[in-house]
Structure 1
Amino acid sequence: MNTQILPGSTLGMLGGGQLGRMFTSAAQIMGYKVVVLDPDPQSPAGVIADQHICAAYDDEKALDDMAKLCAAITTEFENIPAQTLAFLEQKTIVHPSSKALASTQNRNVEKNFIASLGIQTAPFFAIRQQQDIAEAEKVIGFPAILKVATFGYDGKGQIPCKTIEDVYAGFEALGEKECVLEQRIDLDKEISVVLARSQTGTIINFPVAENIHVNGILHTTSVPTSVHAEQAQKAIQMANDIAKGLGYVGTMAVEFFVSQSGEIIANEIAPRPHNSGHYTLDACHTSQFEQQVRMLCGLPAGDCDLITPVVMVNLLGDVWGNSQPHWETLLSETNIKLHLYGKQEARPGRKMGHFNVLAETVDQAMQQADTCFENLKAD
């Protein structure tokens, strides 16, 4: 059943970081009130929400209070405990579901799920104990990368491995927690598909984005991409199949590798709006965050079409140095849109904001983005 929730109602957001902040802003612009639950009293979403419940994600009294206030609840990131969503599902509308979230919280579970749909992944092997490593060597070629199975993001909990000895050392360095060993792809490009799936199963896709990572963290996203149309369409179909397989409702993203031989290989599922979808805030008719509101509230999806070529550049705490960046570098350019996340402290590797460069071509946007990024850095 598709239940429409209209402006004036209260929506809930589990998680108070920048994704929660941008959802909150989109929802408030559309006339909704927003309650954010996050344990950080200075969380970026909490400080702009209509109400901030400052509590742990497993605090049942706080969750009960939230459920009473909210017509529907969604999540900011995939590491919200699935049992938290299961608890809330007994009391109010929750999207994505606890079942969908549980399928994406562990890399081994996620990759097995993707493979079960007949979608190609990089060769992988679960490492749960030291004895598994000898078996992994039989099926995984090198170079490879060892990743913790849970709570790893933005390059954290990942160790490149050139030999089997590196895997033994890496497993020990990661505290012998459950890991996945992935064979490295002969990489040409990295792309992502951001989509929205409704309660009735209708899917609408944003344009495929091309991504460049630095030290495991997304640096730039450009749209349109340089991938062939048939490759882009294959990635879209794979992402849609994943969303359908999850029974997913909301905005989500799937990251893909494009190999040198042109294969499209699924990498990771993000059951939420995604960093590579931030370009939609300025370059599409509807942003990924408005789309998240629409899906949660049972409303028709907004138009996803691209208005202009765009390059998004992440701003990490490294850009701050010991002072504020040279904001005038960006703000003096009429085709650049700056988004800062309201975080109190700039730390190396911490996502503090982003900017979108809008131009007639991606090449023009990228050239300007690179120049402005270099000139932006604090002295």
Structure 2
Amino acid sequence: MHTLTALNKILGIIGGGQLGMMLTEAAKQMPEHISEVIVLDPNVNCPAAKAGAKQIVGNFSDKNAIVELSLQSDIITYEIESGDADALMSIKEPITINPSPEILRIVQDKYLQKKFLDENKIPVTDFVPISSEPDLEQKILQFGYPAMLKLRRGAYDGRGNYKIEVPGQIAQGYSRFGSNPVFLEKHVDFLCEISVIGARSTKGEIAVYSPVENIHEENILRMSIAPARITKRVSEQAEQIARKVMNAFQGSGVFGIEMFVTHDERVLVNEIAPRVHNSGHHTLQSSATSQFEQHLRAILGLKLGKTDLLHYAVMSNILGPKDLKG
């Protein structure tokens, strides 16, 4: 760790993909606060490295690589939830990690995440842990059909979800995940999916962006529309929930909070990403402050930027072939 002034930090980022690249680009616009960016990523010459970050080549869960990153950094953040939370918890002051490793530990287990939200009176759909196939057969009766069987850990972009529509799919659904821990959720018949990008600083200041409407294809985000095509009542409800989520976690940084809007205008939290989020890319051009600059301001304890939507925006997520890497 390099001893620098409070306003001149070396920033370490776990993950050097597109989000890490955009964080690097934002950091380079703040030379008075961040002197250098170092990323940990398994892919040589990752996108963040191409944007000017120094790179440590290693897996996100490699404890030795995480320790090496900490030795070269003053403050650590992450663009992906695959980091080793235990390794991050072992890193001592004066190095700071935002959002905290404890938050990462909770969100990595989707059941623990739902439990945390529920305990903090944040609206979520009904859910229960599942210990066996017979347990699933009994508990699904609480919710009826369809119901969602989900992996607790390692799921993303819909991978790790199985919709059970009839009793005959129970065995297939349970065996699909092998011995991996799962939980069951009541199916939500939603009107639309939205997300709120919010930020909470180390000083407790909170700022939220207007809700964004998200359109998915094959469980992958394809388009975000800002602002979301929802009523003022729903928008205010979503923003209020986002503030409550960030205060419950007591975390610092940007949070992507994904939500369902039901046909009767209730808002339910689906899941939390304690990092900059794909549905916030539009802020680079549509908002007074991009989510990437905002994240850095939050973790550095600076005053948060304005979140005004300067003009309407649509973000289209252009993906390459499924077998393409890089």
TM-score bracket, normalised by the shorter chain, equals over 0.9
Q: What's the counterpart of residue 306 of structure 1? A: 309
Q: Match for 2:16: what amino acid? A: G
Distance 1:4 1:154 in 2: 40
Q: What's the counterpart of residue 195 of structure 1? A: 198
Q: 1:127 aligns with which of 130, 133, 139?
A: 130
Q: What's the counterpart of residue 19 of structure 2? A: 19
Q: Match for 1:177: what amino acid? A: N
Q: Match for 1:111: what amino acid? A: K
Q: What's the counterpart of residue 340 of structure 1? A: none
Counterpart check, 1:88 vs 2:91:
yes
| 1:90 shift after superposition | 4.4
Q: What's the counterpart of residue 323 of structure 2? A: 347
1:127–1:73 distance in 2 versus 1, CA, 3 Å: same
Deviations 1:53-101 (A, max 9, x none): 1123444443333223212110111221211221224451110111111
| 1:283 shift after superposition | 0.4
| 1:43 shift after superposition | 2.4
Identity percentage over the alignment? Answer: 33
Give the gaps of 5 or more residues in structure 2. Answer: none
1:283–1:68 distance in 2 versus 1, CA, 3 Å: same
| 1:49 shift after superposition | 3.9
Task: After superposing the two structures, state which structure 1 stretch, 157-166 or 217-226, moved more.
Answer: 157-166
Q: What's the counterpart of residue 267 of structure 2? A: 264
On the 8 A contact 2:213/2:225 being kept in 1, the answer is: yes
Specify the SS of the correspondent of 1:193: strand
Counterpart check, 1:243 vs 2:246:
yes
| 1:147 shift after superposition | 1.6
| 1:103 shift after superposition | 1.4
Q: What's the counterpart of residue 159 of structure 2? A: 156
Deviations 1:112-151 (A, max 9, x none): 1111111221222222322321232231221122221111
Q: Write out aligned runs for 1:301-340 (5 A).
A: 301-318=304-321
On the 8 A contact 2:211/2:226 being kept in 1, the answer is: yes
Q: TM-score, normalised by structure 1?
A: 0.80
Counterpart check, 1:113 vs 2:89:
no
Q: What's the counterpart of residue 359 of structure 1? A: none
On the 8 A contact 1:4/1:297 being kept in 2, the answer is: no
Distance 1:178 1:272 in 2: 25
Q: Match for 2:53: what amino acid? A: D
Counterpart check, 1:79 vs 2:82:
yes
Q: What's the counterpart of residue 55 of structure 2? A: 52
Distance 1:177 1:167 in 2: 16
1:86–1:143 distance in 2 versus 1, CA, 3 Å: same
Q: Match for 1:23: what amino acid? A: L
On the 8 A contact 1:57/1:84 being kept in 2, the answer is: no
Distance 1:26 1:100 in 2: 24
Deviations 1:160-191 (A, max 9, x none): 21023313211201223111222221211111
Give the gaps of 5 or more residues in structure 1. Answer: 319-345, 353-379
